[in-house]
Amino acid sequence: MPHPRIHSTGSLDAFNPILVTPVIGTEFPKDSCNIVDDILNAPNAEQRIRDLAVLVAERGVVFFRAQHNLTNDLQKHLILEMGRLTTRPESHGLHIHPVTNDAREFGDPDPQISTINSEGRKKLYQGSDYTRMAAVWHSDIAFEKAPADFSSLRLTQLPVTGGDTLWASGYEVYDRISKPYRGFLEGLSATHVGAGFKRMGVKVYTGERGAPVNVGDELEAVHPGVGLADGYYLGCQDESDYGVEVDLSDWYVHVAVGAFPSKINGLNRRESANMLQYFHDLITYGHDLQVRFKWNDPNDIGMLPNYFHASGFC
């Protein structure tokens, strides 16, 4: 059964967050809200963390500027608390990426932190198509049986120019699909595969990756093509409990987009390919359902609910 909808209490409204676009993205202007002082260490910390989680789920991505006193450990604590205070199963914790973890030369020594580094990326993807492509739209780690609920992206070093990141609204994608087509989609599932990692032959971390069901080197999972927007949008308690709906916003989101969906189950190859391309085109050509974030200061941070984005260093 879906988790009852969680509503914001408005505890963050006094910090005057602004809507970056009408359909996606909220920003707390520089010096308006300090995550450590005003949220984590606030007397009503749990209330504010829960309200932040709801805001992230509803707005698709939330930005804070110049959070210079936010350490790696505090950042991890915040994301864990956002899940704990909303809908994350008790047996789940922070995800460990099967590839971009501490085993990489340019990674952080903490395996629960994935370091994005342009030089490390070139080395990791050397000889693959990714070196000749723009960044691709994707939902983070959709190839896991239990994808993460919330993620955060904090830049500690900035390029002289470029490096912007794009997000797109899964709610808006769903709303732009006709009602008869939505009814068809709601009965379908998609197979998500980390095929790119397999083709590159990189070493995969096979231990538990944030949830008991995220183990091994298969990197393949089946998820609904459309679902209620939530934290662990496919939060799993155990291997017999795939597809538990947990709901923060009570809105439907389309999730079968990007690099990891390999097929729509039950359709033939051409039908599946055409459908996936159509969904991708809705985002690619839908500039008004996207938000583009420019990283102005070290320790700017974005928090997202893992629907889909382009980790584009544009």
Domain CATH number, residue 150: 3.60.130.10
Alpha-carbon distance 234 to 259, whole Å?
18
Q: Cα separation of 116 and 118, whole Å?
A: 7
pLDDT tens per residue across span 115-127:
776 665 556 555 5
Amino acid sitting at position 41? N
pLDDT (0 to 100) of residue 178: 92
State the pLDDT at residue 237: 25
Residue 6 lies in a domain: no
8 occurs within a structural domain:
no
- Per-residue pLDDT at 234: 26
- Torsion angle of the four alpha carbons 145, 150, 156, 158, in this order, in degrees rounded to the nearest 10: 90
With respect to residue 57, please indicate whether it lies within any of the assigned structural domains. Answer: yes
Tens of pLDDT, residue by residue over 273-294, are 999 899 888 888 999 999 999 9
Q: For residue 23, tell me if it sits in a domain.
A: yes
Residue 4 within a domain: no
**How many domains does the chain divide into?**
1
CA 219/CA 260 separation, integer angstroms: 10
Does residue 122 form part of some domain?
Answer: yes
252: which strand partners?
228
φ/ψ region of 146 (left if φ > 0, alpha if ψ in -120 to 50, else beta) reads: beta
Dist. CA 307–CA 223, nearest whole Å: 12
CB 298 within 8 A of CB 157: yes
Low-confidence ranges of the chain (pLDDT < 70): 1-3, 101-108, 117-135, 198, 226-258, 307-314
Helix axes 72-84, 45-59, angle to 10 degrees: 80
Residue 293: strand pairing partners: 165
Residue 150: inside a domain: yes
Q: Determine, yes or no, domain membership for 5.
A: no
Domain that holds residue 31: 13-310
**DSSP at 160:** S
Residue-wise pLDDT tens digits, 240-261: 222 223 344 456 665 666 677 8
* d(C-alpha 74, C-alpha 82), whole Å: 12
